[in-house]
């Protein structure tokens, strides 16, 4: 990490940890949770989509598989939620491995890879809607019993800290990708896969490893979601909105950067809340939620067109101009 990065890290972590003490309202803590959680999921997208260039349109499939595995273990087989949690990560990892092996064997790249992940998520949604073990479209309710031993908390602040811990963990992993040989191999594949292979990189193996890692992390996120809301259904678990959100926060903040997803998530949520509040003030508007999503779409186009490195690109350009010239 750069010196600049180190200077920001300490105070940044302290500020995030102190946030619930400064803003005590449930609303503020919930918004904080949403920002951190979306940043975490966005980082899992970023590990594959940003660092390795494997743009996915169906990343939610890992989240959904993870959410259902731990929830079914809990409600049908009576397994404790904490013990079920690692199985979600395993299920996500397996799904990532499977998608990776199948689609990279077939040589799918770029848009084709993106579309196949979209189709796999759709298969997940249809299966979850149809088979008895997921209770179909009704979804699964987890019995509320708020005790720490059950991975349920009366006070939202605990989920805030769990999301913060996950977010930091994913950032450490992403940071490792900027300084390890594995990360360098992924970057080489992203920039020019043929050249990477000519240098002796086994791009198939590296890409599968990367997608497995990303799937494991994203799957673990599924459990946290269910434990917080105590409910899951097929359109939450496999809906295209979540895939798009993961992609958006990473792209807007800066794909392939450590801080990108967190910054993207923060900016998107603030824009979203502001647009909604402003929209609700317009005469005759009862629900301004779509307005904020329209803004997301416009921001995505603007970023792809003019700021391919995302908001982080702005910082980097400035620091390059200032210090290293």
Binding site for another protein (CB under 8 A): 55, 57, 102-103, 105-108, 110-112, 114-116, 118-120, 122-123, 126-127, 129-131, 136-137, 240, 244, 247, 251, 287-288, 290-291, 293-294, 296-298, 300-301, 304-305, 308
User: Which residue's CB is nearer to another protein, number 73 or number 186?
Assistant: 186
Shortest Å, Cβ 167 to another protein: 24
Shortest Å, Cβ 51 to another protein: 15
Among residues 235, 201, 255, which one has the least CA distance to residue 63? Answer: 235
User: Which residue's CB is nearer to another protein, number 89 or number 128?
Assistant: 128
The span from the CA of 215 to the CA of 92, in Å, is 5
Shortest Å, Cβ 259 to another protein: 20
User: Which residue's CB is nearer to another protein, number 26 or number 192?
Assistant: 192
Among residues 89, 66, 61, 90, which one has the least CA distance to residue 242? Answer: 61
User: Which residue's CB is nearer to another protein, number 133 or number 298?
Assistant: 298
CA angle 38–183–307, rounded 5-degree value: 55
Longest C-alpha distance within the chain, in Å? Answer: 63
Shortest Å, Cβ 250 to another protein: 11
User: Which residue's CB is nearer to another protein, number 34 or number 293?
Assistant: 293
- Residues contacting residue 286 through CB under 8 Å, at least 6 positions apart: none
The span from the CA of 232 to the CA of 98, in Å, is 24
Shortest Å, Cβ 2 to another protein: 27
Residues β-bridged to residue 232: 140
Shortest Å, Cβ 210 to another protein: 16
The span from the CA of 298 to the CA of 272, in Å, is 12
The span from the CA of 221 to the CA of 228, in Å, is 11
Shortest Å, Cβ 91 to another protein: 19
User: Which residue's CB is nearer to another protein, number 155 or number 191?
Assistant: 191
Q: How far from chain centre, in Å, is Cα 148?
A: 25
Are 234 and 139 in contact by the 8 Å Cβ rule? The answer is yes
């Amino acid at each position: 990490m750069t010196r600049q990065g180190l200077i920001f890290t300490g105070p940044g972590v302290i500020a995030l940890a102190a946030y619930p003490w400064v803003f005590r309202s449930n609303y503020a803590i919930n918004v904080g949770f949403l920002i951190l959680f979306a940043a975490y999921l966005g980082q899992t997208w970023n590990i594959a989509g940003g660092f390795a260039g494997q743009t996915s349109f169906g990343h939610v499939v890992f989240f959904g598989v993870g959410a259902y595995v731990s929830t079914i273990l809990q409600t049908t087989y009576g397994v404790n939620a904490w013990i079920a949690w690692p199985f979600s990560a395993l299920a996500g990892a397996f799904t990532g491995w499977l998608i990776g092996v199948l689609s990279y064997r077939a040589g799918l790249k770029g848009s084709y890879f993106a579309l196949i992940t979209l189709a796999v998520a759709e298969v997940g949604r249809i299966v979850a809607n149809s088979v008895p073990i997921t209770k179909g479209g009704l979804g699964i309710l987890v019995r509320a019993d708020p005790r720490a031993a059950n991975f349920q908390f009366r006070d939202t602040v605990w989920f805030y800290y769990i999301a913060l811990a996950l977010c930091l963990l994913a950032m450490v992993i992403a940071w490792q990708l900027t300084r390890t040989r594995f990360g360098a191999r992924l970057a080489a594949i992203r920039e020019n896969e043929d050249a990477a292979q000519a240098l002796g990189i086994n791009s198939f193996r590296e890409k599968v490893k990367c997608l497995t890692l990303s799937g494991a992390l994203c799957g673990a996120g599924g459990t946290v979601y269910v434990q917080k809301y105590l409910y899951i259904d097929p359109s939450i678990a496999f809906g295209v909105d979540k895939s798009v959100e993961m992609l958006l926060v990473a792209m807007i903040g800066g794909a392939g950067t450590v801080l990108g997803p967190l910054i993207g998530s923060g900016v998107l949520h603030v824009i979203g809340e502001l647009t909604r509040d402003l929209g609700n003030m317009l005469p005759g508007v009862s629900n301004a939620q779509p307005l904020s999503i329209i803004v997301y779409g416009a921001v995505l186009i603007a970023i792809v067109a003019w700021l391919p490195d995302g908001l982080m690109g702005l910082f980097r350009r400035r620091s390059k101009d200032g210090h290293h010239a």
